[in-house]
Amino acid sequence: AGGEEGGGGGGGPDRRARATKLQDSAALDAWLAPLFSSLVVATREAPAPVLPQLLSLLRPSSPFVVYSASMEPLAQCYHLCQASRCAVRLQLLETFTRAYQVAPNRTHPTMSTYPPTGYVLAGIKVAPPAGK
């Protein structure tokens, strides 16, 4: 008798889903309103298309890092940051480290060292130039 399911007006599942979506959207907007003080990005996809939007969520003088398994996507991000002048102190680093075996009168790399594990782009976001 007169339930909430079905096509009659009321507060059916579609209406509740829309209300939840609006609440989630409002909560997300409230969470994103203050600018962040740092950014860490680690993705299997190319980060260059989303990097400008992510950097726009950072306060000026905030550090950021972007990780990728290969160097090419980070080289694109490096060029993007240089061309747009949105960051300083840009560094493109390899995360490879090597352990050494140390014994009396002999030191050599550990033979079971893993290959390089990826690359990191690091930088400091700067305020956009006046007039932009």
CB proximity list for 71: less than 8 A, separation 6 or greater: 92, 94, 119
* pTM of the shown model: 0.66
Element containing residue 100 per DSSP (H, E) = strand 100-103
Based on its alpha-carbon atoms, the radius of gyration of the chain, rounded to whole angstroms, reads: 24
Q: Is the pLDDT confidence value at 17 over 50?
A: yes
More confident residue, 129 or 84: 84
Residue 7: which pLDDT band, with cuts at 50, 70 and 90?
very low
- Reported as a single tens digit per residue, the pLDDT across 64-117 is 999 999 899 999 999 999 999 999 999 999 887 777 778 888 887 777 766 668
Q: How many CB atoms lie within 10 A of CB 89?
A: 9
Residues facing residue 80 across a β-bridge: none
Dihedral angle computed from the Cα positions of residues 56, 47, 121 and 63, in that order, rounded to the nearest 10 degrees: 20
Asked if residue 66 lies in contact with residue 75, where contact means CB atoms within 8 angstroms, the answer is no
Q: How many percent of the chain have pLDDT more than 70?
A: 74
- Using CA atoms, how far residue 8 sits from 3, 17, 18, in Å, is 9, 16, 16
